[in-house]
Structure 1
Amino acid sequence: MASTSRRKRPPNADLARLIENCGASHKSLALRINRLAGLAGVETDYSHTSVANWCRRGMIPRWPVPVLLAQALGERIGRPVPLSEIGMGDARTPAADTGLGFPRDRADAVREATSFWSFVNRRDFLTGSGFAVSAFSTPVTRWLVAPADEAADLTSGKQVGKADLDELKDAADEARRWDSKYGGGNWRASSVTVCLQERAAPLLRGSFSDEVGRDLFSVTAELSRMAGWTAFDVGQHEVAQRHFIQALRLARAGGDVQLGCYVLTTMAMQSLLRGFGTEAVDMAQGAFERSKDRAAPRVLAFTKLIEARAHARERDARAASRALAASEDLLGRADTTGGPEPVWIDFYHHARLSADAAEIFRDLKNPRAALAWNQRAAAMPSGVFTRSVGMRLAIVGTAHLQDRELDRGLDLGNRSVDILARVRSSRARDYVREFTTALTPWRGEPAVRDFLHRTRTELGVRRSADAPAG
């Protein structure tokens, strides 16, 4: 594929050095760029020769390939890679760190968030860094040090009132409902980013009292968290990470410690599902300790649940069981004592804990415990929680496979595909992929071959061993 620049350029020593240091071959790098481009809706066909031309002849590929190149390299070395570091700093793009900032000053925080929202809806916005758990370090540290700003009033533009807040709250509630039913890729859930740019951003630059300001920052933080969750659900992990960081900062601006706890817990969940279990444990424990005297028991219970899931991914059965027991105790306290709770935590109850416990023990390769917990989980109506039901069927089916029950496992796997074929969620497909990997001992069976063919044709899912790297 041709480059934008035809004039003779000096060799790109910065790019060549970075590629050598990260240990990537030109061929593997080209394949990864082609895959990232496909995910972004851009058709490319780069080869090792293309990468060599970028290094030796200083050629610059067409936009948005420079950010894809930076993203592929960032994945290799585990940190964001700005375009300037690969010798392509003059490529047309917003700053590579847009949305990663967690400013101490509230006004700077508003500028950071609104700048990110203005870019993220552009078709050509690709961050160029991929998910890097290290990008959470400063936001998490600063939130743990000071989870609430002292004041939230502002005298600037148009007066912000209750009707404005109600509109944003309705948008958040609707996005949660559609996300649960159809996944993060549905048009209604994805419209949250438009709401942030066109409705929330102007209000954050308006005039409001301290009371209104705290509500405004809180609901905007929840919208940003929801935008991050929908992006995470469809596999846009780098965009999700930036939304979560901005949600955490806005929660601090609103003095909403329990929402900050929830956002940080969500960040921990993203980290553990991206393979950073130890970091996820640290984030979940930090969220709990910083909020245990200020958050509702149900909020704290969810934080302990995610800690338990992170321990399970790290194969620490004792720590996972302790955290799970703590979550169950907190849920019992929430049900017994009552008291005010935020609307965004109303999904977490004993049936949800039991369903997640089944996943925890599946990860711990303890199928009997997983199936016992599943018996305690109430059935969820597929018309309301479509994605959740589909993922749970895949989880329980995998536990049956671990228990050497092929027929029962395949039945649940097929039911999972029936549901998830209607859902736009790469996260849900990951659960099906884990199920197909558990089928490996029976891959010669006709029924298994038929199922694998079905997952490839209907969901685009292949066994992990067959899937491309990255």
Structure 2
Amino acid sequence: MTLSEVSAETANTALAELIETAKISKHALARRVNALAEEAGEPRSYTQTSVKNWTRGMVPREPVPRFIAQALAERLGRPVDPAEIGMPASRRKTADVGLDFHRDTHTAVHNASQFWSTVHRRSLLTGAFALGAYTTPLSRWLAVPEDPDASHPGNRRVGRHDLDALWEAAAHAQRQDSRYGGGTREASQVDRILRERAVPLLHGGYTDAVGRELYAGTAELARVAGWSALDMGHHALAQRHFIQALRMAKAAGSMNVGCHVLTNLALQTTLRGYPDAAVDMAQGAFERARHKAAPRVLAFAKLIEARAHARLGDRRSAAAALAHSERLLERADTVPGNEPSWIRYYTPARMSADAVEIHRDLNLPDAALRWNERATPMSATDFTRSVGLRMTLVATAHIQRGELDRALADGQRAIVILSSVRSARAADYLSDVVRTMGPWRRDPRVAGFSQRAHQAIVLSTTRTS
């Protein structure tokens, strides 16, 4: 059998058709693949003859199929998987999707796009939290938090209107999550926005300045998506969103966004039972950003550090971190600077709400209840979930003081407030109230409360369509 016969028999028609759809010449494709390979430290010297050979069935070695897919994705304005160009040998395991933190910006954008195109895979919803998944992202962001160039060639020019729409989508998603939890239809729309709006923009054409803001806005969208996933107990999915958010923050060169995302990683790590590692994350985020990030962003990092210390039972360190957060927050409020709008949710009332949990965790119920008085300005309309969770904490603080009547009253308030929230975290906090009332389980009032709490728990964990 001759070479021509082999080529005709194994021609890669999928690649040929995609090249035609992308309206890119073989010469231009070869040139772009060479450029991507050079950027990734894998220099190549392909020509239009090489592209002809690929369409005839030749499959280049890894990682070239990824570069071919990325070059076509840039022209098409959507993600392209190597399997789509007829090179399935480069398919990646689902378990690895979204965990990349590549040093090269363009490769990182391509990997993030692939993840956001496969975000609904069931394995990502049922997977387990893996602390080790944060090792590389954490070390690489702390070492080099800014990429040198955010510009990108592409047919579709990204402009101010695109950036404003992206930021507004992120702000709206955050508001909806705060009001109704991560299990609502509105919260789930963030994944679609990432896939259908952010990804095409990432593959468009933009200058360094536009690219940095585009990456920052995408990072904030991914952070909100990660928080909504965490709120519904999908921790493996949340990890991937957070990792890609941190990578986009690095591409943006934004210390504010990077510090905030890393602080979210620390909070998830605390909630998953690794407060010691969370302390390191929060401290690392603060120290790396302390001379560049806004005071309110840094204040939030110190708050999460305090929460981690409290889970460890370290009263002195928790008090120091919380006091530091309060000082930074006072500075942010008294000397307004150029702070991002997305961090303005962190107010003195919000700090006080978290301080309730910090002192409850430290078994200091009197202090927890004093902080609760300072948290009352928080609006139950705008921050429904947060206010409802705080009432569960107040109930458990009353249990620590042996005050069953007051615990039942505040627990009932929590049920009423959280009735409109879809959140696995809310269910966990309600379950914790029921657990702490265990010594009084034979009391008819406790039995009635437990039944109502159970009904609310079932409702909280049911995602709305």
Which has the larger Rg? 2
CA contact (8 A) 1:433 1:461 kept: no
Structure 1 CA distance for aligned equivalents of residues 364 and 459 of structure 2: 25
Structure with greater helix percent: 2
CA contact (8 A) 1:455 1:461 kept: no
Does 2:223 align with 1:260?
Answer: no
Residue in structure 2 matched with residue 25 of structure 1 by the alignment: none
Residue in structure 2 matched with residue 117 of structure 1 by the alignment: 116
Structure 2 CA distance for aligned equivalents of residues 165 and 141 of structure 1: 29
1:11-410 alignment to 2 at 5 Å?
94-122=93-121, 124-126=122-124, 129-410=127-408
Q: Secondary structure at the match of 1:379?
A: coil
CA contact (8 A) 1:218 1:251 kept: yes
Q: Secondary structure at the match of 1:120?
A: coil
Structure 2 CA distance for aligned equivalents of residues 138 and 163 of structure 1: 34
Structure 2 CA distance for aligned equivalents of residues 196 and 450 of structure 1: 44
Residue in structure 1 matched with residue 424 of structure 2 by the alignment: 426
CA contact (8 A) 2:127 2:237 kept: no
The one-letter code sitting in structure 2 at the alignment partner of 1:284 is: A
The one-letter code sitting in structure 2 at the alignment partner of 1:341 is: E
Structure 2 CA distance for aligned equivalents of residues 107 and 93 of structure 1: 18
Cα-to-partner distance string for 1:67-86 (whole Å, 9 max, x where unaligned): xxxxxxxxxxxxxxxxxxxx
- TM-score, normalised relative to structure 1: 0.77
The one-letter code sitting in structure 2 at the alignment partner of 1:375 is: E
Q: Secondary structure at the match of 1:454?
A: helix
Structure 1 CA distance for aligned equivalents of residues 172 and 459 of structure 2: 30
Structure 2 CA distance for aligned equivalents of residues 225 and 161 of structure 1: 23
1:121 CA displacement = 2.9
CA contact (8 A) 1:421 1:459 kept: no
Closer/same/farther in 2, CA of residues 127 and 377 from structure 1, 3 Å limit: closer
Structure 2 CA distance for aligned equivalents of residues 126 and 385 of structure 1: 28
CA contact (8 A) 1:121 1:194 kept: no
1:139 CA displacement = 0.3
CA contact (8 A) 2:101 2:108 kept: yes
CA contact (8 A) 1:196 1:223 kept: yes
Structure 1 CA distance for aligned equivalents of residues 379 and 305 of structure 2: 27
Residue in structure 2 matched with residue 60 of structure 1 by the alignment: none
1:422 CA displacement = 1.6
Residue in structure 2 matched with residue 29 of structure 1 by the alignment: none
Q: How much identity, in percent, do the aligned residues show?
A: 54
Residue in structure 2 matched with residue 451 of structure 1 by the alignment: 449
Structure 2 CA distance for aligned equivalents of residues 114 and 125 of structure 1: 18
The one-letter code sitting in structure 1 at the alignment partner of 2:190 is: V
1:194 CA displacement = 0.4
Q: Secondary structure at the match of 1:108?
A: helix
Give the ranges of 4+ consecutive aligned residues of structure 1 lying more than 4 Å apart after TM superposition.
none
1:247 CA displacement = 0.1
The one-letter code sitting in structure 2 at the alignment partner of 1:111 is: H
Closer/same/farther in 2, CA of residues 449 and 128 from structure 1, 3 Å limit: closer
Task: Report the RMSD for the aligned CA atoms in angstroms.
Answer: 1.7
CA contact (8 A) 2:126 2:234 kept: no
Q: Secondary structure at the match of 2:124?
A: coil
Cα-to-partner distance string for 1:329-363 (whole Å, 9 max, x where unaligned): 11111122211111111011111111111110000
- TM-score, normalised relative to structure 2: 0.78
Q: Secondary structure at the match of 1:134?
A: helix
CA contact (8 A) 1:94 1:119 kept: no
Cα-to-partner distance string for 1:150-206 (whole Å, 9 max, x where unaligned): 110111231111111111111111101111111111111210110111111111111
1:127 CA displacement = 6.4
Structure 2 CA distance for aligned equivalents of residues 343 and 96 of structure 1: 35
Structure 1 CA distance for aligned equivalents of residues 181 and 156 of structure 2: 35
CA contact (8 A) 1:432 1:461 kept: no
Structure 2 CA distance for aligned equivalents of residues 371 and 194 of structure 1: 41
CA contact (8 A) 2:250 2:258 kept: yes
1:460 CA displacement = 3.1
Structure 2 CA distance for aligned equivalents of residues 334 and 160 of structure 1: 33
1:281 CA displacement = 0.4
